[in-house]
Amino acid sequence: GYVAYAEATPEPKLISSAPVIDRVDNKKQKIVVLGTGWAGTSFLRNLKNPNYEVQIISPRNYFAFTPLLPSVTCGTVEARSIVEPIRNIVRKKNVDVQFTEAACLKIDAQNNKIYCHSNLENNLDGQEEFVVDYDYLIIAVGANVNTFNTPGVMENCHFLKEVEDAQKIRRTVIDCFEKASLPTVSDEEKKRILHFAVVGGGPTGVEFAAELHDFVNEDLVKLYPGVKDLVRITILEAGDHILNMFDKRITSFAEEKFQREGIDLKTGSMVVKVTDKEIFTKEMKNGGEVSATPYGMALWSTGIGTRPFIKDFMTQVGQGSRRALATDEWLRVEGCDKVYAIGDCATINQRKVMEDIAAIFRKADKDNSGTLTIDEYEEVIKDICERYPQVELYLKSKQMKNLVDLMKETADVSKGNVEFNIEDFKTALSKVDSQMKNLPATAQVAAQQGVYLAKCFNRMEEAEKNPEGPLRFRGEGRHRFRPFRYKHLGQFAPLGGEQTAAQLPGDWVSIGHSSQWLWYSVYASKQVSWRNRSLVVTDWARRFIWGRDSSR
């Protein structure tokens, strides 16, 4: 696929002679957006400021609704139904937006330039390389699959990141059933071919296993009566449980449901090697014994990694030792002005309260008395809560309403203490940082970051005239907007058989058929266009009436 191409060519060949693409309007500032996934598309859809010229560069000229990719693997939903051309999405805008289908191969942060390569296979005679300059760069290129360098995974396993991956899985599943039905194949071999192994018990792996189980039991058993009893689905998970990012109730429900249905759950076993016919697992406990299991098709879904050209960029901006591209809470890449990073390719380097505690105290202590009154303190509380999301989580864990209560408890204000010093302040907030968490790599986070950044750009002029922002504890004096704050709206885990687990804010958990209907309605409403919405709903209806299409 395209992405594989970009990974395979980390060093562009023609860099020095490649032409620099002219700007449309020299008076306008130019924003370059890399990527047409959740983060990039959400930015583009929300950008309204006509004072910018925008160029989008992505090897994919469409947006894909990834939460429905597992449904594409078994033909519950067609691939075409979940993609929308990016040119459709940006067409109606009053902002100058151009799209170029190419992959960025290198970012030159020093000279505000990026090097690109078209992935189109035609005779362009060297015209496929070009350079684009920018005033602002928004990196929204998502993540790579991560094989953790496990031997044989790249060559032998399927992945589920892109639409092409889902289509390939669909063809392979049918291939396996046809192969197993050949008269020449031995029973032993049939069993191997019809063993579907899923590596990784996260949401993607689990949903695929559930979807495949439904496909087999609702449709394929009728079409392949001779081999239906030989089918086996196994989930291999190194940890103790599947779906460990969900509430325990959901994990146990899923585990029990899968056990009942005959989906084989092997927790505590780590895949260490994959060959074309066997998958090698190591027991995490009991002496670490390694065993080989024959398989027909394997899906690798164990987490994400950083793209090579992003690694290279990280080295340029002094982030070489980090695992993921770090931004501040305003989503600006650390160590690089005017470059932003959103979505799966980035992580917010959240500040610790304890690192800034002296500065916070100084700012709150307006009269420089060395102590704070409750009034002085109350004035900075809002800022603290806004800047440090862990504070809210900590208060919630202690079932407190606000920071005043926390301080009153620590500084014995009730006993007549009306002021407190920096030591009290430190004691009160000392455990707050333990609640710090990285945001998950989800579409929800990516989309909210895109909206946030678009709003910042929509108000850029206004903000430049009024440089006082809410919090400037780091003394940089240029944070003009409120920092990005993620709002978790809940999470679904479809478990097959028209049952879905839903975990909504406030630890509200619901599992079963009613959540499945909630899932249908939420996912229909989240489609980016009415065209997608009607296609997806039609696919669902078609599946209810006629079942899934099992042709290749």
Is residue 160 close enough to count as binding ligand FAD by CB under 6 A?
yes
Smallest gap from residue 515 Cβ to ligand FAD (A): 13
Is residue 39 close enough to count as binding Mg ion by CB under 5 A?
yes
Is residue 205 close enough to count as binding ligand FAD by CB under 6 A?
no
Smallest gap from residue 75 Cβ to Mg ion (A): 20
CA distance 546 to 478: 59
Give the three-class secondary structure for 521. helix
E strands, 44-177, in order = 52-58, 62-64, 83-85, 96-101, 103-108, 113-117, 129-133, 136-139, 144-145
Smallest gap from residue 144 Cβ to ligand FAD (A): 9
Is residue 173 close enough to count as binding Mg ion by CB under 5 A?
no
Smallest gap from residue 549 Cβ to ligand FAD (A): 20
Contacts of 87 (CB under 8 A, 6+ apart): 61, 99
- Residues linked to residue 227 through DSSP beta bridges, in sequence order: none
CA distance 376 to 475: 20
SS (H, E, C) 444-493: HHHHHHHHHHHHHHHCHHHHHHCCCCCCCCCCCCCCCCCCCCCCCCCEEE
The site partner of 306 among ligand FAD, Mg ion, none (C-beta below 5 to 8 Å per kind) is none
110 closest CA partner among 328, 375, 315, 349? 315
Q: Alpha-carbon torsion 161, 167, 173, 176, what sign?
A: negative
Smallest gap from residue 181 Cβ to Mg ion (A): 36
Q: Which is nearer to Mg ion, 37 or 296 (CB)?
A: 37
The site partner of 216 among ligand FAD, Mg ion, none (C-beta below 5 to 8 Å per kind) is none
Q: Which is nearer to Mg ion, 57 or 432 (CB)?
A: 57
Q: Which stretch binds ligand FAD (CB under 6 A): 56-64, 150-158, 179-187, 279-287?
A: 56-64
Count Cβ neighbours within 10 Å for each residue of 185-202 and write b for 16 or more, e otherwise. Answer: eeeebbbbbbbbbbbbbb
Give the three-class secondary structure for 428. helix
Is residue 443 close enough to count as binding ligand FAD by CB under 6 A?
yes
The site partner of 60 among ligand FAD, Mg ion, none (C-beta below 5 to 8 Å per kind) is ligand FAD
Taking CB under 5 A as the rule, which mask of x and - marks residues 106-145 in contact with Mg ion? ----------------------------------x-----
CA distances from 130 to 101, 114, 127, 331, 469 (A): 12, 9, 7, 27, 39
Q: Which is nearer to ligand FAD, 15 or 441 (CB)?
A: 441
In the region spanning residues 72 to 131, those forming contacts with ligand FAD, defined by CB under 6 A, are 103-104
DSSP 181-238: T-TTS-HHHHHHHTEEEEE--SHHHHHHHHHHHHHIIIIIHHH-TTTGGG-EEEEEES
**Size of interface with ligand FAD, in residues (CB under 6 A):** 34
The site partner of 365 among ligand FAD, Mg ion, none (C-beta below 5 to 8 Å per kind) is Mg ion
Smallest gap from residue 445 Cβ to ligand FAD (A): 7
The site partner of 33 among ligand FAD, Mg ion, none (C-beta below 5 to 8 Å per kind) is none
SS (H, E, C) 142-153: CCEECCCCCCCH
In the region spanning residues 226 to 255, those forming contacts with ligand FAD, defined by CB under 6 A, are none
Q: Which is nearer to ligand FAD, 117 or 387 (CB)?
A: 117
Q: Which is nearer to Mg ion, 405 or 419 (CB)?
A: 419
Taking CB under 5 A as the rule, which mask of x and - marks residues 64-83 in contact with Mg ion? --x-----------------
CA distance 319 to 405: 39
Residue of minimal CB distance from ligand FAD?
37
- Contact residues toward ligand FAD (CB under 6 A) are 3, 6, 34-40, 57-60, 66-67, 69-70, 103-104, 140-142, 160-161, 204, 309, 343-345, 441-444, 446
